[in-house]
Homo-oligomer: A and B are copies of this chain.
Amino acid sequence: MDTSVAILGSGNMADFLLRAFHGAGIHIEALIARDLDAVRKNLPSSTFSDKLLDSSNLKELKSHMLFLAISDDAIAEVTKNYTFKDNQCVIHTSGAVNLHEIQHSNKGVFYPLQTLTSGRSLDFSQVPLLIESSDKTSEQVLLSLGKKISTKVLAVNSSQRLRYHLAAVFVSNFVNHLYHSAQGILQKNNLPLDLLFPLMQESLDKAREIGPWKAQTGPALRNDEVTLNAHREILKEDDLKAIYNLMTEQIQNRQKWD
């Protein structure tokens, strides 16, 4: 029997689920959203065509798998306010929210460990999908749906997922803030960031291939005081200085994890 799914939401996550399920040939029974105009404007219409419902129609759904593509803090409230059928599995898609926030007995998690932006093309097969469920049957359905989309699907509990989410914040949001800071350092002298792109890529490739411990280089690691002082001399902004001093100190005192 083919599993069909329904999706509640209209943001980046709904966009991801629509395109990922559609691309994998998974039937999308309906997309449910409060603001149907926003959906028609922002989401890829070919993926759901006329299977568009507003939230009042939730009880008409036949699909056993209902995916919530809503904000973290809405999960508990939304699932409390709706009455789901007993055989429906209600699935959130958040990295940080515990499975048990879902106010329905049959529940699951389907978390894509990736930064999502509406309309950006993405190789879905490379997006890790972290799965959790309150019962083995739903877990099997979620794993099987996941494997139609991605080659990296695994079952983890809420505590492990939160840890992945935290690590993701370090390598995505915080790394991006360093890119932004570097842009600030250059822009004050009208120098463009794009000259650093090959270095950004090589730094990533090297960390991936030999691990961040061996990949580390630079004046902090070498305790090169002359260069550290030359850098501090031209760092005028308090926020850039704070990053510089903290990171330099931590690199000098870093510890090996394995």
A225-258 to B contact mask, C-beta < 8 Å, 1/0: 0110011001100010011101100110111011
Q: Closest B residue to A122 by CB, please name it.
A: B202
Q: Is the CB of A168 within 8 A of B196?
A: yes
Given contacts A191-B163, A246-B242, contact A172 B200 (CB under 8 A): yes
Is the CB of A204 closer than 8 A to any CB of chain B?
yes
The interface residues of chain A, by DSSP majority, are classed as helix
- Can you list, as one digit per residue, whether each of A199-232 has a CB less than 8 Å from chain B (1) or not (0)? 1111110111001110111111100101100110
Q: Give a binary string over A167-178; 1 marks a CB under 8 Å from any B CB, 0 the rest.
A: 111111111111
Q: What is the 8 Å Cβ interface bit string for chain A, positions 31-70, against chain B (1 contact, 0 not)? A: 0000000000000000000000000000000000000000
Say whether A115 faces chain B, with CB atoms less than 8 Å apart. Answer: yes
**B contact residues around A163 at 8 Å (CB):** 185-186, 189, 191, 234
Bound together, the chains give a CA A178 to CA B187 distance in angstroms of: 23
The reply to whether B212 and A171 form a contact with Cβ atoms under 8 Å apart is no
With A180-B213, A227-B72 known as contacts, the answer to whether A250 contacts B239 (CB < 8 A) is: yes
Q: Decide if A199 touches B243 in the complex (CB within 8 Å).
A: no
Q: Give bound CA distance, A252 to B175, whole Å.
A: 15
CB within 8 Å for A115 and B254 given contacts A122-B202, A234-B162: no
Q: Contact size class for A?
A: 35 or more
For A186, list chain B residues within 8 Å (CB). 163-164, 167
Contacts of A204 in B (CB 8 A): 175, 200-201, 204
What 0/1 readout, one digit per residue, does chain A (141-166) give for beta carbons within 8 Å of chain B?
Answer: 00000000000101000011011111
Given the complex, which residues of B lie within 8 Å of A162, measured CB to CB? 230-231, 234
Which residue from chain B places its CB closest to the CB of A163 in the assembled complex? Answer: B189
Q: Is the CB of B171 within 8 A of A182?
A: yes
- Residues of B within 8 Å of A87, CB to CB, are none
Are A73 and B226 in touch, CB under 8 angstroms? yes
| List of 5 A-B pairs having minimum Cβ-Cβ separation, nearest first | A173-B218, A180-B212, A167-B182, A170-B182, A179-B212
